[in-house]
Amino acid sequence: FKSGIPKCMSLGGVWGRVLNLCLPAASLLYPYGLAQRDHKNPKLDDGTSKKLSLAVPFTFYSKKYQALYVNNNGVISFDTRVNQYTPDPFPLADGRPFVAPYWADVDNVNGGDIFYRETTDPTLLARITEDINQYFPKIPFTATWAFVATWDHVAYYGSTTNKGNTFQAVLTTDTKTSLIILNYWDIQWTTGAASDGDAETGLGGTPAHAGFNSGDDTNFYNIPGSQTEAIINITQTSNVNVPGRWVFQVDDFKVTGVPTEVPKVADGKSCWL
């Protein structure tokens, strides 16, 4: 029943990689916030955005969508709002098509904000294009549109601390190929109290889930570590050799460069370049 530590403070996390002269963490997130003319979701536990009409169709698992919802609980959905706070593994029995950057019991009343915007800003599109071309050199791609959703230092339900998670999902297309970039900047908790998590640590219970559900029972992907305690380490995992970043082609879904086992946390002396 249901009735922030600053970024980069953990030397074993993102800031630790900066000190080790690895990939600069600041380059992981694309610009977001009010200065980027982002919209913000309401301060509402288990809340969502309104239905957002898109200027161009976004193809997800061979189906074109022209509207979506940004759900507070770490989900971008296409057909319906997602208020559910305890995640289920994919494939989902009810066939909801959605992207789950970090599906867990976010409570932005306790802390944090959820930002989003649709954009054709040339500077951002050029940066996205450069990144995609680096990761997938065999896919000819020039971004013409993007949708950026960012969960900024969001708290968990029942929290008695200032722990917050910051992560981001970017949908982008050139009108033919669709890709999604998931960025994990700072993950300090995995579970809300209503999912049997500890109110003080934000751990335990049923941890967060990350991945994709097509809406059928055959096309889906669970990012390694989902719904286990290892999901706390998603800032140090990747399928494109950039710690904290996962990138997928989703028009005709392809999984590239995915490790076969859940990666373990590296020690503080490891470099991920």
- Dist. CA 257–CA 86, nearest whole Å: 28
Domain ranges of the chain: 43-249
Neighbours of 90 (CB within 10 A): 22
Query: Angle CA(85)–CA(169)–CA(251) in degrees, nearest 5?
Result: 105
Contact 206, 49 (CB under 8 A): no
pLDDT at 95: 86
pLDDT at 194: 97
pLDDT at 190: 98
- Dist. CA 115–CA 55, nearest whole Å: 18
pLDDT at 256: 66
Per-residue three-class SS string for 200-257: CCCCECCCCEEEEECCCCCCEEECCCCCCHHHHHHHHCCCCCCCCEEEEECCCCECCC
pLDDT at 71: 98
What are 47's two structure tokens? Answer: 């809340």
Q: pTM score, two decimals?
A: 0.86
pLDDT at 267: 40
- Dist. CA 41–CA 138, nearest whole Å: 37
pLDDT at 216: 85
pLDDT at 173: 98
Low-confidence ranges of the chain (pLDDT < 50): 1, 3-25, 260-263, 265-273
pLDDT tens sequence across 33-68: 999 999 999 999 999 999 999 999 999 999 999 999
pLDDT at 26: 54
pLDDT tens sequence across 240-268: 999 999 999 999 877 666 554 444 544 43
Contact 249, 256 (CB under 8 A): yes
pLDDT at 5: 33
Query: Angle CA(133)–CA(90)–CA(222) in degrees, nearest 5?
Result: 40
Sign of CA dihedral 218, 78, 223, 145: positive
Residue (of 159, 148, 245) closest to 194 by Cα position: 159
Neighbours of 8 (CB within 10 A): 17
